[in-house]
Structure 1
């Protein structure tokens, strides 16, 4: 499908916000799903690249919505994407993949959103869905958002999360803002202070964690969730071949065998993944 580019601007060094005009059918898109982009006019990269859906919002155009993608220039594919101009087109498939499951939110005592680096990309859409969900109790619509980055200049979406009513905490590896350390250190610090509130509750009722970031970070989130008897859903960052589950190029070991990140994920229950190879 060819999508019109509305905007593609730098918001910070190496980070851009891309806006695409998409069909009204994207209203059913779920947080954690992605689009798969092909870069026409170039055989390098030859494969499509996955990009998390950062937001879906209203458009002035009839029967259209605006889809936003937050991305970082890291290689040839994203370098090509950063050069795309408004009024040009982008070849995309989507929305694809299995997103975050929000059904357990009303029963959870507390909701934590944990973002490592560019992991904020799909998690803003998640926080927005919670804020707009009347089925969720008021306190669940305003989750605690933990953002981790190398420096204060690398922090993304802090204001945007606050505008949704979220409580936002920050950790930086160099200590330039917030807690000095990783975002998982910040999560442990907060849970230690509140652990008595969830004591004696069954798993999932003490709280739910939604996380996206590097694989080592997500493995640490699983260990923390297990210790504090919390449910954790994690969105895996991975290169994909077809994006449809046919090529088996992005598999991960789980307790029920190998699963395809593009088709069965990218969101999984953290307890289902075999983290140690």
Structure 2
């Protein structure tokens, strides 16, 4: 009689060098683990989350979620696993992406794949890998905008991709940072750093009230209507009917 031996996968540990497939197998075998990432083929396992991280995280999600509520056609995710390429599977703090016409999609098994338009990370300091290895990974994979909030130094860096390089976004005369990918996504960085969330949301509402945001919303609505129109064509109906079984 043959006895089957169960092969137990080793746990994920910081510094492990794995393929993305190996990383996912081990991650899935550790349901108690809440956050692990594969960056340039190296595993990073996060420590338990302190308040100095979770409070900024909550404020950023409130800001992004408020923009999503006013902007159809975009999706906002909290701590999603992102399959970027064969060696990189980060789990950023927040993601904003176009649901149609962007560079990312949802896989058959429910994961985000490709490069979302905007990624947000909360880091302890400028020494964090968020501003080094991860930044290079996001840049190489053409993530268009990248925001990093360094909690100890109380600094927010907003980068945009231009000619294959990340360049720092400069605030306007009022100290407001404005997204280049999402019209109306305005950030009062100084208010956010000071914990004045109401002021942050007030500034965001000003951005949402602009003509640029309205044009963005209208263009999405027009594109959605065009997709519905294509489905409603006679050619589509003929195609559907051709798939129906022939009556006996």
Class of the TM-score when normalised by the shorter of the 2 chains: 0.3 to 0.5
More helix by share: 2
More strand by share: 1
TM-score, structure 1 length as denominator? 0.30
Please tell me whether Structure 1 or Structure 2 has the larger radius of gyration of its CA atoms. Answer: 2
TM-score, structure 2 length as denominator? 0.32
